[in-house]
Amino acid sequence: MSRPPKTVVPVLCYHSVGDERRDNTLRWSVSPGDFDEQMALIRERGRTPMTVSGYAAVLRGLAPLPPRPVLITFDDGFPDLAETALPVLRRHGLTATAYVIAARVGVAPPPDGDPSLDRDQLRDLRAHGVEIGSHSRSHRALDCLRPTELHQEVAGSRQMLEDVTGTAVRSFAYPYGYHSTTVRTAVRAAGYTSACGVKNALSHPGDDVYAVARVLIERDTGVAGIEALLDGTGWPLAWRGERLRTRGWRAYRRARHLVHNARPRLSQPTS
């Protein structure tokens, strides 16, 4: 039996830094004060911040792992990433990776939707050292899509973000953490060199470069929760491959997706 890796690499996944509801809940919004305290703790602990692409080079054996590494990531691309989180990151000397939903950049949200970064904010993040990655074109469950739709979500989003930032987009984050062999193949074919999942587990040097494990940071995680992550306690080590329950959940979602798409056709006249 192989021994577990001695080095754990906490990869934190934030969404919003503010007091606004996101996806109709405050669960995914960390208050600015809490975020500042959490970043201060990371700095005080002497952690070495890395981008996901920098960490991917380590996982590929192309670079050494720095001492006491930590990764800070953001999903979705809300404006408070530029307005609130970035100043905190800069004050504490930390870097991050932002996974952005490409089709939402600079577009006014629907009445019941959440706002997104505009083009200038995205460029400003990149100018200040934040890695920009893709979180797909429109945030759909990729493992339920047809090949043409999957290509648009994966390759199309990369092109859109590169057109805005003028720099290569090398990392991808799966919406909802959902991925499959087909999705991973599409991500590699589109030219990405890494991808993040979720798993709510601790990454390590033996982790999968196309399914880097992250831990979702919620509103009630608090400083104590971040401290436990940095200590490598309270969370399992990331595993390779998929668990049976993950495959079962995908099968259920695919069946539901097929039924939903078939309904309009079944209701049409047969003449």
Helices 32-44, 222-231: axis angle to 10 degrees equals: 30
Displacement of CA 116 from its chain's centroid (Å): 15
- Kindly give the confidence (pLDDT) of every residue in the chain, 271 residues in length, as a single tens digit, with 9 standing for 90 and above: 344 456 899 999 999 999 999 988 999 999 999 999 999 999 999 999 999 999 999 999 999 999 999 999 999 999 999 999 999 999 999 999 999 999 999 999 988 899 999 999 999 999 999 999 999 999 999 999 999 999 999 999 999 999 999 999 999 999 999 999 999 999 999 999 999 999 999 999 999 999 999 999 999 999 999 999 999 999 999 997 665 455 444 544 555 555 555 455 444 332 2
